[in-house]
Amino acid sequence: MQACRAALLRFDEQGHALYDADGLLVIGPDDKGQPVVRAAGAYQALARHFPGVPVTHWPGRLIAPGFVDLHIHYPQLDVIGSPAEGLLPWLEHYTYPHEARFADARHAQEVAPFFLDELQRNGVTTALTFATSHPASVDALFGEARRRGLRLITGRVLQDRHSPDGVRDRASPDGAHTATEQSLIETEQLIQKWHGVDRLGYAITPRFAPTSSAAQLQGAGELAARYPDVWIQSHAAENLDEIRWVRELFPRSRSYLSVYDGFGLLRERAIYAHCIHLDDEDRALMQARGAAAAVSPTSNLFLGSGFFDYVAANRAGLRYGLASDVGGGTSFSPFRTMLAAYTVGREGQTKPGLSLAPGHLWWQHTAGAARALGLSGVIGNLQVGCEADFVVLNPRATPLLARRTAQADSLAELLFALIVLGDDRVVEHTVIRGTVQNAPPAAINWPAVPPA
């Protein structure tokens, strides 16, 4: 067993922030030998119960749950920061050409470690991510995540129409299977190869309704029924032009979201990015099915897609969590994402505006995102039994941040200062399975504080 001493942030079952200015986090093996949280709370109350357990002291630091990114595209690493007139032109001019490069397994193997380095540098310890339509892209990312012991969910993108050569699904080399059939065969092979291996999970991944035929969506739904513990991920109701296109392609469906429901793709462990332009019937359907929304505010602001309606989502009891959506999203940093979510919530011209509490913003990117994934009590929190993934944050990482946090007289002020002024410099250590990943050796081997 081992323990860490610093300020400590976690969440109760209702999503309320719990905070100890001088906290203790105790980590030890569960019944399977995996590092989990064994105790968390005030140092003075807990330390005497763990005599002899070595304690690493991080004075002036904040221990918090590792961030959970609910929607990100790893093949769009080199697309981030590309100018465009909107979603569909951005896909055509930037995204598809870059994704086509992942047909080369060597390219995928070069991008995967850089992508995961960037996630960990920003304190993200779990991500639900798109790969491309090339199985090699999935193998590269899963393989690298497994080497690092990460909890990661990804999947081969399904897109058998309305996509350019290079990313559109292709028939089997021997001609025995059509492009649609081959895409579903490869998906099932990847599920059987990777899902449940160590901390890896598979997500059935139609890109979005317009790029999948009815036959492909039907096959994806059949796979989802055959493998009920895998995830499903796609996009829904992001952009008005996209919605009009869906209406033309699926005229019998009541809405964009109901297209997925009609093929059995709306259920627990189904995550739909954006969900901006929904109506109350859509939200009620998502809530009833147990599906969740991945709110992607930096992407929505960058592409001019619209504003997620938190008031309507809360009224419907809709599950949701925060996501970077790199490369449409403009930063890997959870702090930038939380700040953008606050801005989106405040917008009150196209929907009711509200001020999201700092603790709630933080919850959306940790325990709330874990709940959306069906992984409450596993990740995104530091309650007893949770996996030992966390971050050590420095509230004085920059001069301005240090000046502001020194004047914070409440937890809300501290968290909000970090949200507004923080970036990757705040993340001093990212800890995976109780092991520090991204700190120089001198920082890891600080003197331990003897137990009380």
Give me the CATH number covering residue 35: 2.30.40.10
Whether 182 is covered by a domain: the verdict is yes
pLDDT single digits (tens) 334-388? 999 999 999 999 999 999 999 999 999 999 999 999 999 999 999 999 999 999 9
Residues 103 and 157 in one domain: yes
Closest CA to 423 of 400, 440, 452: 400
pLDDT band at 440 (very low <50, low <70, confident <90, very high): very low
**Do both 201 and 129 map to the same domain?**
yes
Whole-model pTM? 0.95
Q: For residues 315 and 280, give the distance between their C-alpha atoms in angstroms, rounded to a whole number.
A: 9
Beta strands in 181-290 (DSSP E): 200-206, 231-236, 270-274
pLDDT exceeds cutoff 50 at 246: yes
The average confidence (pLDDT) of the chain is: 94
Q: pLDDT tens-digit profile of 109-162?
A: 999 999 999 999 999 999 999 999 999 999 999 999 999 999 999 999 999 999
Is the pLDDT higher at 258 or at 84?
Answer: 258
- Shared domain check, 279 and 241: yes
DSSP letter string, 167-187 = TS----TTSSS-HHHHHHHHH
CA contacts within 13 A on the Cβ side of 144: 21
pLDDT for 98 equals: 92
Q: Give the C-alpha separation, 25 to 384, whole Å.
A: 10
Q: Residue 260: inside a domain, yes or no?
A: yes
**Model confidence at 452: pLDDT above 60:** no
In this structure, the answer to whether residues 354 and 429 fall within a common structural domain is no
What percent of the chain has pLDDT above 70? 97
Domain range for residue 230?
A: 67-372
Are 54 and 170 in the same domain? no
Is the pLDDT at 443 greater than 90? The verdict is no
pLDDT band of residue 438 (cuts 50, 70, 90) is low
Evaluate whether residue 321 is within a structural domain.
yes
Q: Note whether 335 and 394 are same-domain residues.
A: no
In a shared domain, residues 355 and 400: no
pLDDT by residue (tens digit) across 383-428? 999 999 999 999 999 999 999 999 999 999 999 999 999 999 999 9
Q: What per-residue confidence (pLDDT) applies to 450?
A: 34
CATH of residue 338: 3.20.20.140
Both 54 and 84 in a single domain? no
- 60 with 71, same domain? no
How many domains does the structure of the chain reveal?
A: 2
Give the pLDDT mean for 185-201. 98
pLDDT tens-digit readout, 207-234: 999 999 999 999 999 999 999 999 999 9
Q: CB of 125 within 8 A of CB of 151?
A: yes
Q: Which residue has the tokens 């419907």?
A: 316
Does some domain include residue 130?
A: yes
Residues 57, 72 within the same domain = no
> Among the three residues 372, 396, 427, which one is the final residue of a domain in this structure?
372
Residues 6+ positions from 423 with CB-CB distance below 8 Å: 333, 335, 336
244 part of a folded domain? yes
46 and 99 housed in the same domain: no
